[in-house]
Amino acid sequence: MDNFALRVSAGLPQSMRTFPSRGDDRGTVTIAGLGCCLALLLLGGVAIDLWRVLADRRELAGVAEAAALSAVDAIDPEQVRQTGEVVLEPADASRRAWQVVLDRADELMLSGPPVVAVTDQEVTVGLTATVELGVIRILLGPSEIEISVESTARPLVLD
């Protein structure tokens, strides 16, 4: 011990004068490092699961928007000619929306029936899908997240 350490330890009880041996701490850093690595892997897995939920929601919203925009093209030309008012043909608008949804239904994990609501002024398409989780399922057991999106479109005529 150097001179400073001897002066400091002179006023301490005997049990505190000696420094503990480092021999019993072997492997502590390795275990802590492995614990940190495991925590990072789990955090990365949870991030991937959440990214997948967001990606599936974006895809579902894209299909709902495409269906609503396709349906809103079904303007009744006779009504426009006679009155100048833009009105949708409900049957044609509904058919167009369903066609877009059915064309993409195989790619989507729909958990419920699509909802297509058509009035003479707007079209609303609602879709619901289920996303199964990977790492979160390992931690919490079987788990799924249900995603619902709704898109509404109205015809617009520019003068």
Where in the sequence is the domain holding 72, given as residue range(s)?
26-153
Residue at 158 is within a domain: no
Measured distance CA(71)–CA(124) in Å, rounded: 9
pLDDT tens for each residue of 11-27:
666 655 555 555 566 77
Residue at 130 is within a domain: yes
Residue at 3 is within a domain: no
Structural domain tally of the chain? 1
Q: How does the average pLDDT of the chain come out, rounded?
A: 84
Residue at 108 is within a domain: yes
pLDDT tens for each residue of 87-129:
889 999 999 999 999 999 888 888 889 999 999 889 999 999 9
Residue at 134 is within a domain: yes
Residue at 66 is within a domain: yes
* DSSP label of 108: S
